[in-house]
Amino acid sequence: MPERAGELRATGARVETLDVGDDASVTALARSLAGEAIDVLVLSAAIGEAGPPVDHLVAADVERTLNIDAVGAARVTTALMPNLRAGKRRTVVALSSGLGSIHRNSEGGWVAYRMAKAALNMYVRSAASELAREKFVCVLIDPGWVKTDMGGPGAPLTPEESVEAMLRSIERLGPSDSGRFIDRRGRDVPW
């Protein structure tokens, strides 16, 4: 929410309003950024909760989570492709989650969120393949369990710790990293 971005504004950052789940909002953002190069696009919007077990899922809740966490990333990336093509680094980083790893899912739970993150993972992997000829770098990063509204106060990482580690990993990204699913330190996460 832009009204809560005072500290960010103080750094000189440009703050825009965006609802990744709404086509009109994404179109308006793309219009306001027309002609501006974007070197690195970080897709971080997500919703999720532990939610009900598989036998009590509410389809509307699953659809909403998929729309924000997966389709929203595709919507924003597509809208900002002219900006990314004008950028020097042509890098797309999507914040995924270990909960989106099919390999690691041995307990269930968080079903809608897991589904959405797995879909996001497939989108970014597909983008990496299709955009390789244009020298794009498309990567998924698991930021870890972070003390945020979603992660809760029991999470072991502060937002600052997670972001600092992710920024170091993003800075080191190159063409050979495109299509990877990594943790905040740059280590591979099993699909």
Any idea where the domains of the chain sit in the sequence?
Answer: 38-183
What average pLDDT does the segment 78-90 reach?
Answer: 98
Query: In this predicted structure, what is the pLDDT of residue 13?
Result: 87
Structure tokens given for 190? 């099993």
**Residue 56, phi then psi, degrees to nearest 5:** -130, 20
* CATH no. of 38-183: 3.40.50.720
Residue 136 vs residue 152, higher pLDDT: 136
What average pLDDT does the segment 98-106 reach?
Answer: 94
Read off the pLDDT band of 8 (50, 70, 90). Answer: confident
Structure tokens given for 78? 């597509």
Alpha-carbon gap, residue 10 to 27, rounded angstroms = 27
Read off the pLDDT band of 4 (50, 70, 90). Answer: confident
Query: In this predicted structure, what is the pLDDT of residue 108?
Result: 93
Q: How far apart are the first and last CA of the chain?
A: 32
What average pLDDT does the segment 110-137 reach?
Answer: 98
Q: What is the rounded average pLDDT for all residues in the chain?
A: 95
Q: What H or E segment, with its residue span, contains residue 92?
A: strand 91-95
Which long-range contacts link 82-87 to residues 24+ away (Cβ below 8 Å)? 82/34, 83/30, 83/33, 83/36, 83/37, 83/38, 83/41, 84/38, 84/41, 84/136, 85/134, 86/35, 86/36, 86/37, 86/38, 87/37, 87/38, 87/39, 87/40
Structure tokens given for 50? 């532990």
Q: What H or E segment, with its residue span, contains residue 73?
A: helix 72-79
The DSSP letter of residue 125 is H
Query: In this predicted structure, what is the pLDDT of residue 85?
Result: 98
Read off the pLDDT band of 150 (50, 70, 90). Answer: confident
Residue 12 vs residue 67, higher pLDDT: 67
Query: In this predicted structure, what is the pLDDT of residue 3?
Result: 77
Predicted confidence (pLDDT) per residue in 47-79, tens digit = 999 989 999 999 999 999 999 999 999 999 999
Cβ count near 65 (within 10 Å): 26
Nearest to 180 by CA among 143, 133, 140: 140
**SS3 at position 16:** coil
Number of C-alpha atoms within 13 angstroms, CB side, residue 139? Answer: 33
